[in-house]
Every structure is written in structure tokens, then in C-alpha cells.
Amino acid sequence: MRKYQGEVIHQSHDQLGVIEVVEDNLSRSLHFGTDARQSSMLLRDPCQLSLSYTRAMCAALLFCEAPRRVLLLGLGGGSLAKFLLHYYPQCHIDAVEFRPEVHQIAHRYFELPEEPRLHVIYDDAGHFVRQHPIDQAGYDVMLIDAFLDRGVAYSVCGSSFFAACRDLLATEGVLSMNLWSDDRVHANDFIEDMSLSFDKQALRLPVEGKANVIGIATRQATARKQLRGLDDRARRLELHTAIEFTALLHSLRKFNKQFFSGFLSVPPGGAVS
């Protein structure tokens, strides 16, 4: 059966609805009953991030170049987990996934490895964050991609959720969340709630050519001062991962000029746009 411009190689249902895996000549994608790809894997390079919004979520690494503890809220096909396990061998990941069937599909169809550095917890993301004991060490990076078929899960909405996220992050920790610009709760409302919970250390990163918007918030009290060194860090990360970190940094500056004001590094002979 053909669907979403590919061949359906798996279809099942759980308590939340349909789960489909669709393959074409280049990639394999996860769908929850709509055209939107919840996850996608390049068949020739399973550990690379094929979807632009997942690469944009990794802009959080500009603020934490070598994460050791990561919390994923929403496992999906496991793209972000595979990427981190592959490029950061020192990284340990807790992944919260509400749908056990999705976890099994990630193993079966998307090459998510059985790996002791990856601990998968079956729970609602909002419940996990609000109820999880605060660890003194905290998470270095928190990546939130908690979508249902029609948009962001309700449990990861509101200032109380982001305040709980902040409590689970390390002192220098950073959060990155995938949002949808025309979602039932507008992306700007999410980012405003982030900003209130993170001492106004929140950034907006629209994904070029897509409806996705990434919200990034950091606990780093000196984040503005540290921005002077992000050009070198972006180049290092780009060489290490083949993700377009230089372009992501440029977009962060373009869409958050007030946050970056006064701290932009200026290349020789020219001004930063």
C-alpha cells in the first residue's frame, strides 16, 4: 500500500491512534496518521539527522558543546537518540516515551540500538518532569519533541512545566523544544512561558521553509557574554557532526537581535547581519 508518497511497510494502532512506517528510495519515516513526519531516517546514513527541525533542535549544543547527561521528552523513531549516541560516546540519555509501541518500532524499523547509555522510560512527558526528583547534577541538555497527531501534547504546556524543566537542568543546562507555528497554542506563547521560567534567557529559531519553530532556553546566567565565542564553537560542531551550525547561529542572531545586542562577534572587514 502506498501512502505519504511512499510504501507503507508497517501499520499498527495503540491507545492514541494509528502508527505508520513509510519508506521511499531514500528514507524511512514515522507517521501518526497524518502527512507530518514524526521521525525520518536516511537509509544510507541512519545516524544522521535528515529532518531540518531535528538539526535545528541541536542548536542547543551551541550552549553545551559536550553533553554528558541528556533528557529526551519524546523518543519517536529515535533520530535524536541515535545521533547523540553516535557523536557523543560519553553521553548518557534518559528518553521518556508515552507509547511503548513507538519505542519498539524505533528498534525494529529505525535502527535504534540496544545501548546501556540509553534508558527509555514509559511515561507522559509532562508527568515525568513534574514528578521527577531534582538531581543535584541535573541534565546538561533537554530536548523536547512531544507531539501527538495534531500538535504539541497538552502535558508539556504552561509555565509550571517549564519551571519544572528548569529545576531538572544542570546549572549550565539548556533546553530545546520543537514547536509548530500554527499549533492550537501558538509557538510564541510557549516561548513566552519559557522566557518567564528561564530569567528571559529564551530564544526563538524558526526552521527555514517549515512551520516548525524551535524554542531554546538556558540556565546560563552569563549566556550573553558567552555568545562572543559561539562562532568558533559553531565551526567545531559543524566539522564534528556535519550539521549546519554556522547557519543555525546566523538564524539565532537574525531572529533574536535584542538577546544578542552588543555581544555579536564581528568578522574582519564586515558587520554581522
Nearest by Cα to 261 from 65, 252, 195? 252
Instruction: Give residue 264's region: left, alpha or beta (phi > 0; psi -120 to 50).
Output: beta
Please pick, among 94, 124, 145, 193, the residue that the annotation labels catalytic: 145
Say if residues 111 and 46 touch (Cβ distance below 8 Å).
Answer: yes
Q: Which residue has the cell 565565542?
A: 229
Nearest by Cα to 77 from 119, 117, 47? 47
Q: Mention every residue, 6+ apart, whose C-beta is less than 8 A from residue 69.
A: 91, 92, 94, 137, 138, 139, 140, 141, 170
27 — phi, psi (to 5°)?
-145, 165
Say if residues 180 and 145 touch (Cβ distance below 8 Å).
Answer: no
Q: Report the alpha-carbon distance of residue 215 to residue 159 in Å, rounded.
A: 14
Provide the residue type at 43 as one letter: L
To the query of whether residue 145 is one of the catalytic residues in this protein, the response is yes
Query: Looking at the annotation, which residues are catalytic?
Result: 145
